[in-house]
Structures are given as C-alpha cells and as structure tokens.
Amino acid sequence: MSRDILIHYDEAGGKIVVSTVEHSLTAPLLAKALPLETSIDTFKAKSPDEAERSFGAGIFALLDLSSHTKVGIRDYSMSTAEWDGEITDELKTKSAAGDATAQFELAMEMITEGLRLKSRKGMDEADALLRRAVAGGNADAAEYLANLWPALKARSDRDFT
C-alpha cells in the first residue's frame, strides 16, 4: 500500500500538520495539482545535511508563498529571489551550451514562474525548452513531457493570458 505525505499549514492555529494518507485518497487531488517536483537524485547529489536543509527550506518557502499568514522563519521571498537569480544564470549559460539537464531544470523554473504569473508566453517558452531537453536526450524531460506537461500546457493555453 502506497501512502502519501500531506503537509497542512493551519494558519489560524499557527501550526504545521504532517499526515500520511493512502495514495488512493490523494490521487484525485494530485491529478489536479500543479506539480513542483525535484528528483531524488538532485538531493542525493548533495551532502545529507545540505539535502535536508534544501528540502526543508523548500517546504517553508512553499508554505510562505501559498499562504496569507507567513511562517516567519525568514523572508523566503528575498532568499528565494536571490537563490533563483544565481541558479537561473548558471542554468541559462549551461542551457545555451546545449546541456539537456540544464535545459530541463530551467524549463521547470520557467514552468513554476509561468504558473505563478499565469503567463501563457512563459509557459510557451518553457515548452520549447522542455522539447529541446527531450531532443538532447534528457529522460526526466521526456517523462515530464509525456505524463505531466499535457495537462499543464492545456490549462495554460486555456486559462492564461
């Protein structure tokens, strides 16, 4: 039996509730969710401490970005912007040089930004980059393009300006 982890930020109660739930119960929600994915290999490439720090910071940043009441650990909008700038510059350089992994990772960033801004242009740019990553042989990009991208792209084509 597969179980998913559900993280709920109870803003009114000032607490974070973590639960495990049978996958069959979350599958309908996941089918409609906007995926933000990181491969396990990305975390394995880091030291254990850095992987844990990175994952935790990502969760806190997502909680802050998707809630009215901020968690208050730090200003994640500033740290995220600074980090994004550094990473994005490096990915753009590698992507322009034909690195299919960088193209896929940059496409993921562009998709996140396109979803946040509801930008059809941003999603179209991500689409082109995702397809270049697939053409370059990136297996993660091929899987994303085949399984997750069609629904996101259809939504952006339909609902975004």
Candidates 95, 97, 161; CA nearest to 130 is 95
pLDDT tens-digit series, residues 57-68: 888 888 887 788
Q: Within 13 Å of residue 138, how many CA atoms lie on the same side as its CB?
A: 24
pLDDT tens-digit series, residues 81-138: 565 566 677 888 889 999 999 899 889 888 888 888 888 999 999 999 999 999 999 9
The pLDDT assigned to 97 comes to 94
Q: How far apart are the first and last CA of the chain?
A: 41
Question: pLDDT tier at 36 (50, 70, 90 boundaries)?
Answer: low
Domain spans in the chain, listed from the N-terminal domain onward: 1-33, 43-159
The pLDDT assigned to 89 comes to 79
Residues 6+ apart with CB under 8 A from 3: 20, 21, 22, 23
The pLDDT assigned to 123 comes to 92
At 144 the three-state DSSP class reads helix
Question: pLDDT tier at 1 (50, 70, 90 boundaries)?
Answer: low
